[in-house]
């Protein structure tokens, strides 16, 4: 009988769980592999971990805001397969994936206009289909067709808005704009070669009629579409450039005073600039990475985006906020690769199924990591919680040893740690360890000193040694005895701490550690005794709470996550939450001190709290005017278990956090960094597989989809499955 290959998985985030999941889908996998996951602290999840706080009605406490996009085909495929294997009883909460996820279409951007914040609501159409069934390779024809339909809609709305503006404005210069769309195609084609002119020779000069005629071309045979693909890039470039010039010339004077026209202009200008830039820089021939030597704003500027209105517009800022694209958390240092962000933008816009976003119906821990854990556990994967990996040791071109500190001991008679707790018939991860399963004296010390076992800067080693007169116990995993292969699933920011000898030996891995950067993030959640409408936010489609970005720094992103309240309990008798708001952003950190500076987390935690309180006092009135005005906030609208507590002290019963640990930092795509990413098996170490949203996946951005792709690629490199991973290349 063939001896099983032992696989050690370091970390329990999305990539690690995805790797384990697909490895266990191999036929008769138990005869081939012996898989063990080594996890710091008491829960899985990495950046996606969440916990239930039993002291406050089992409320959900997240690392930040987690919402999936509708183009996440690999992530949805994986979690749907996991839910099938989870096989919860019918009628149980979140028994199926489509009970655990619901489509969401309502997005809000914030614009600062004359020192006032104005909301820009966007309601995306729902697209029929299952988000797990998709192709993330973008077809040129899809880009051209979709851009055409967007432009047609923009230009049609432009015409209507200009007429409205003319009817209400005293500015007589508007009179000449009513007929601005006329003759645009006639003017363009008269300057171009004859074979193009024949496309439009029977068109009227009204732009709407012209666009209808162009639409008939899009409905022709695929062969003619391919002919455009191969032969008419020059015409497309010329046409788009002329349209762009026309937009700037005809509407520039209207943009400052008319928000609706300005927003239509920004979207049209942004779309045209991206299409023109893609043609000029050879993106369609060489892929998006060819423009990653530019920051997104730099690239838009290079290709003529309107400097006054488009380059720093709400849609542009919103994408920087979405991916926390600020080096060192410094909001004056926005930085994201142009190719990487445009690839993501096009996939979001062109490839989503159902809603453009999908909201989880419980915490990410409950929705994603509970099924992963229970399925993998049932299939035979082993989990070693409270295992702090200290260092990977190489011997030549192999990992020969893994050094681990055992953080705590279990109580006598406790064979293994059981991490989940039931909350309203749903298995969940608690916000702190299950202390009753731990050694009683150690559990008492942990609670007495408020020890965070997930912290890189934890004071637990000192507390333990003072109490027991010896350091925490350690163990060494040996190659050929405890493992044969290693899956390194910690974040890229962990490399310098856990792999210093590997970095010294492998130049390419060292460059990954230096060039692929990560940023700290911060988040807070508030529960209110008033529903969202009574806070003053009333602009919502039916059944769609807002997801908003582009607001004040810090905490530029907000989402009403009221779908989660049904999964939580009352804080105390009669203390019921009517609304819960999630806020997040990057967190500025100039440098990270050594792990001996055990007060660093507390300082950053207080910094996150200060920023949250400042936003509620001085800025939230733009969103919640019924409970706030400039410089004031009605603190009594926040829930408290003690009704006698009033004022700012009520914030102390809310939730906030600072994600500064190496394993928690968000992976960035700063310009010129993708070229340094490695594939899962591209280090020089023959038994090491790196995985995470920081490796080379084809998406190359910090998100659940990239993390899932990485895990799938890791499994494929080891066992050959899964064979199909969509989105690894740009164009089909």
CA distances from 541 to 157, 245, 260 (A): 21, 35, 18
Q: Do residues 248 and 227 share a domain?
A: yes
Domain end (from 332, 352, 372):
352
Whether the predicted pLDDT of 208 surpasses 80: no
In a domain, 110, yes or no: no
Q: pTM for this structure?
A: 0.92
Domain end (from 621, 636, 659):
659
Q: Do residues 611 and 689 share a domain?
A: no
Q: Do residues 498 and 536 share a domain?
A: no
124-138, 273-287, 308-322: range with lowest mean pLDDT: 124-138
Q: Do residues 513 and 525 share a domain?
A: no
Q: How confident is the model at residue 254 (pLDDT cuts 50, 70, 90)?
A: confident
182-196, 258-272, 575-589, 677-691: range with lowest mean pLDDT: 182-196
Are 455 and 664 within 8 A, CB to CB?
Answer: no
Q: How far apart are CA 420 and CA 430, in angstroms?
A: 7
Classify residue 518 as exposed, middle or buried by CB count within 10 Å of its CB (0-12, 13-18, 19+).
Answer: buried
CATH of residue 36's domain is 3.50.50.60
Q: Do residues 448 and 312 share a domain?
A: no
Whether the predicted pLDDT of 343 surpasses 70: yes
202-211, 425-434, 698-707: range with lowest mean pLDDT: 202-211
Domain membership of residue 258 as a residue range: 135-352
Classify residue 565 as exposed, middle or buried by CB count within 10 Å of its CB (0-12, 13-18, 19+).
Answer: middle
In a domain, 375, yes or no: yes
Q: Do residues 246 and 150 share a domain?
A: yes
Whether the predicted pLDDT of 207 surpasses 80: no
Q: Do residues 292 and 201 share a domain?
A: yes
Residues in the chain: 732
Mean pLDDT of the chain: 89
The confidence score (pLDDT) of residue 660 equals 98
The confidence score (pLDDT) of residue 151 equals 59
Q: Which two tokens stand for residue 511?
A: 């460059």
Q: Which two tokens stand for residue 293?
A: 């030597």
Q: Do residues 643 and 682 share a domain?
A: no
Q: How confident is the model at residue 143 (pLDDT cuts 50, 70, 90)?
A: low
The confidence score (pLDDT) of residue 147 equals 58
Model confidence pLDDT, tens digit, residues 638-685: 999 998 999 999 999 999 999 999 999 999 999 999 999 999 999 999
Scored b (16 or more CB within 10 A) or e, 231-248 reads ebbebbebbbbbbbebbb
How confident is the model over 624-630, as a mean pLDDT?
96
Domain end (from 352, 371, 398):
352
Q: Which two tokens stand for residue 584?
A: 């997040």
How confident is the model over 185-199, as a mean pLDDT?
42
Q: How far apart are CA 600 and CA 680, in angstroms?
A: 33
The confidence score (pLDDT) of residue 256 equals 86
Model confidence pLDDT, tens digit, residues 366-418: 999 999 999 999 999 999 999 999 999 999 999 999 999 999 999 999 999 99
Domain total in the chain: 3
Cα 39 from chain centre = 23
Considering only the C-alpha atoms of the chain, give the largest distance between any 2 of them, rounded to a whole number of Å. Answer: 92
User: DSSP class of residue 308?
Assistant: T
In a domain, 402, yes or no: yes
Whether the predicted pLDDT of 217 surpasses 50: no
């Amino acid at each position: 009988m063939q001896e099983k290959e032992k696989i050690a998985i370091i970390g329990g985030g999305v990539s690690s769980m995805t790797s384990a999941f697909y490895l266990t889908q191999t036929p008769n996998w138990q005869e081939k592999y012996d898989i063990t996951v080594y996890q710091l602290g008491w829960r899985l999840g990495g950046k996606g971990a969440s916990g239930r706080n039993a002291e406050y009605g089992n409320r959900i406490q997240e690392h930040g805001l987690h919402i999936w996009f509708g183009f996440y085909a690999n992530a949805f495929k994986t979690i749907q397969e996991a839910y099938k294997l989870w096989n919860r009883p019918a009628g149980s909460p979140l028994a199926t994936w489509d009970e655990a996820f619901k489509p969401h279409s309502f997005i809000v951007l914030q614009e600062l206009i004359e020192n006032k914040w104005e909301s820009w609501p966007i309601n995306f159409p729902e697209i029929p289909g299952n988000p797990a069934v998709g192709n993330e390779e973008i077809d040129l024809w899809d880009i051209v067709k979709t851009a055409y339909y967007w432009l047609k809609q923009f230009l049609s709305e432009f015409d209507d808005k200009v007429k409205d503006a003319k009817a209400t404005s005293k500015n007589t210069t508007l009179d000449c704009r009513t007929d601005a769309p006329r003759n645009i195609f006639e003017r363009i084609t008269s300057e171009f070669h004859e074979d193009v002119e024949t496309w439009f020779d029977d068109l009227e000069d009204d732009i709407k009629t012209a666009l209808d005629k162009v639409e008939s071309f899009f409905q022709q045979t695929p062969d003619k579409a391919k002919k455009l693909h191969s032969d008419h890039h020059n015409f497309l470039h010329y046409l788009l450039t002329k349209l762009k010039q026309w937009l700037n010339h005809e509407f520039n004077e209207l943009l400052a005073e008319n928000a609706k026209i300005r927003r239509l202009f920004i979207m049209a200008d942004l779309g045209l600039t991206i299409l023109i830039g893609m043609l000029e820089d050879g993106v369609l021939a060489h892929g998006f990475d060819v423009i990653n030597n530019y920051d997104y704003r730099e690239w838009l500027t290079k290709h003529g985006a309107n400097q006054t209105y488009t380059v720093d517009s709400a849609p542009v800022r919103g994408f920087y906020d979405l991916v926390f694209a600020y080096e060192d958390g410094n909001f004056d240092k926005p930085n994201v690769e142009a190719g990487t962000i445009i690839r993501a933008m096009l996939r979001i816009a062109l490839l989503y199924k159902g809603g453009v976003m999908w909201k989880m119906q419980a915490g990410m821990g409950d929705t994603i990591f509970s099924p992963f854990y229970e399925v993998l556990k049932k299939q035979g994967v082993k989990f070693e919680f409270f295992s702090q990996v200290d260092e990977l040791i190489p011997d030549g071109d192999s990992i020969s040893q893994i050094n681990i500190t055992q953080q705590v001991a279990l109580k006598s008679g406790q064979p293994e740690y059981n991490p989940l707790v039931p909350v309203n018939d749903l298995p969940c991860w608690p916000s702190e360890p299950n202390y009753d399963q731990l050694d009683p004296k150690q559990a008492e010390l942990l609670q007495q000193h408020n020890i965070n076992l997930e912290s890189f800067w934890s004071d637990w080693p000192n507390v333990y040694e003072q109490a027991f007169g010896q350091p925490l116990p350690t163990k060494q995993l040996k190659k050929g005895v405890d493992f044969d292969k290693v899956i390194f699933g910690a974040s890229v920011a962990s490399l310098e701490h856990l792999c210093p000898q590997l970095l010294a030996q492998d130049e390419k891995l060292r460059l990954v550690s230096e060039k692929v950067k990560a940023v700290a993030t911060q988040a807070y959640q508030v529960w209110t005794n008033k529903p969202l409408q009574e806070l003053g936010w009333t602009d919502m489609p039916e059944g769609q709470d807002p997801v908003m970005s582009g607001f004040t720094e810090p905490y530029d992103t907000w989402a009403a996550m009221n779908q989660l309240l049904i999964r939580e309990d009352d804080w105390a008798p009669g203390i019921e939450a009517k609304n819960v708001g999630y806020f997040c952003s990057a967190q500025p950190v100039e440098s990270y001190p050594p792990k001996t500076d055990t007060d660093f987390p507390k300082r950053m935690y207080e910094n996150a709290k200060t920023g949250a309180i400042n936003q509620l006092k001085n800025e939230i009135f733009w969103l919640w005017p019924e409970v706030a005005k400039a410089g004031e906030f009605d603190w009594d609208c926040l829930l408290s278990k003690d009704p006698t507590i009033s004022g700012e002290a009520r914030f102390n019963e809310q939730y906030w956090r600072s994600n500064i640990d190496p394993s928690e930092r968000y992976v960035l795509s700063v310009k010129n960094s993708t070229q340094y990413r490695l594939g899962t098996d591209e280090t020089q170490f023959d038994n090491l597989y790196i995985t995470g949203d920081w490796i080379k996946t084809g998406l190359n951005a910090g998100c659940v989809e990239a993390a899932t792709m990485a895990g799938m690629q890791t499994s494929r490199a080891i066992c050959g499955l899964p064979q199909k991973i969509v989105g690894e290349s740009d164009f089909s």
